[in-house]
Amino acid sequence: LLAGHKLQARPTDPNRQIDWGQLLVSCINLHIFYVNANRMADASLWLKTAEDLFEKTDTDPDQIVRDRLWIGFLLAQGRARDAWRIARSVLEKAAALADEAGDDVLLLLGNAGRTAIAVGEFEAARRAFALLVQLCEDRNSPDLLVSSLGYEAVALFRLGKFDDGVEMLSRLVREERELRAMIERPLHQFGFSGSHETLYDNLIAALHDSTRLRVLFDAIQSCKAFAIGRAAPRLASTHEVSATLAPESVFLEFDHHGNAGRCLLIRPGDENPELIELNADYDTVLAAAVDFERRMRWARLALSDAPFDSLDGVATTVLHPVLSRLGAETQRLLVAPAGAAARLP
């Protein structure tokens, strides 16, 4: 990107004029790259450079692209209230913007809607994403449709409209399956999942705060399956899982979304899972897993069980809260781990 920008700014052909429009696109791409890399000082530099070029080229007269970039930049820094100052005015004129309905308008409305969720303006978010769903359907934009359905479901759950939210969530899963069926390469499946990780975080966090634990279980399965690149996962309901368990068994569905750990426990015959909140920081679990793998390489040579001793700390936060809920009749655990915990024994 930097090399491309250099060529745009200083053409090597003496007969070639600077294409200011392409130079602006190059600056925007560099800004987005540095935002995604969490290098905010560099991102700020390229955004300000792009601002100057917007003025120079007299493009973006309605500030649609600039507002989109600034809202995304502020959200990435955790400055949701600052982003809301821009997003609120965008949502107030959403109906007028919808008449233009270009890609930049769709992305702008999406950023404004996410900001509304971040600051607790859930009704404003619901209206924004309901409009976006309609626009995406009209324009046949399946990728943006999937995220819009997900964020509308988040807003509905936060508003306490659970039946509507469940319907939206079911539609999200159907649309995502159809979209992923068109993605052939596993690497692209992972890339698609990465771009929706923030959406998954918001969905799970919204359901975690509700009492609809069966829906939470379904959502966690969907998020996990898509995250590991499954285009058409086979999802089991709470009833299906509990009906297959032997009397002495329990099923443990671990999850870590929204920077919070949780486990859903299902016993034989259960209609609803039991939610166990875990005080397990993701980075701590990851560090324990990496340390365990390093110790295991040496332990295989020394025939030592010392690596397992190193797991006492993480077991206190990940496993002990779950074991304390089990009775003496439980003899077998069926474990579905999540994230870094999948690397623990």
Residues 6+ apart with CB under 8 A from 105: 64, 97, 98
pLDDT score recorded for residue 15: 63
CA distance 288 to 294: 10
Half-sphere exposure of 32 (CA within 13 A, CB side): 11
pLDDT score recorded for residue 62: 86
Of 246, 255, 252, 248, the C-alpha closest to 266 is 252
What pTM did the predictor assign? 0.82
DSSP letters of 138-191?
HHT-HHHHHHHHHHHHHHHHHTT-HHHHHHHHHHHHHHHHHHHHT---HHHHHH
Q: Which tokens in the block code for residue 293?
A: 């793998």
pLDDT score recorded for residue 266: 95
Q: Find out whether 210 and 162 touch, Cβ atoms under 8 Å.
A: yes
The label of the residue with tokens 């990496």 reads 290
Q: Bridge-partner residues for 333, per DSSP?
A: 250
For β-strands 249-257 and 332-336, DSSP reports them as parallel
Cα Rg of the chain (Å, integer): 24
Half-sphere exposure of 332 (CA within 13 A, CB side): 7
pLDDT score recorded for residue 80: 96
Q: Find out whether 169 and 219 touch, Cβ atoms under 8 Å.
A: yes
Of 116, 130, 138, 197, the C-alpha closest to 165 is 130
CA distance 283 to 279: 12
Q: What is the mean pLDDT of each run of 10 residues along the chain (345 residues)?
A: 73 67 89 92 94 86 92 95 96 86 87 96 96 91 88 95 92 82 65 72 86 87 68 76 93 86 92 90 86 80 70 88 90 89 83
Of 180, 184, 181, 210, the C-alpha closest to 195 is 180
pLDDT score recorded for residue 260: 82
pLDDT score recorded for residue 110: 93
From its phi and psi, is residue 259 left (phi > 0), alpha (psi between -120 and 50) or beta? Answer: left
CA quadruple 285, 290, 296, 299: dihedral sign:
negative
| Phi and psi torsions of 177, nearest 5° | -60, -45
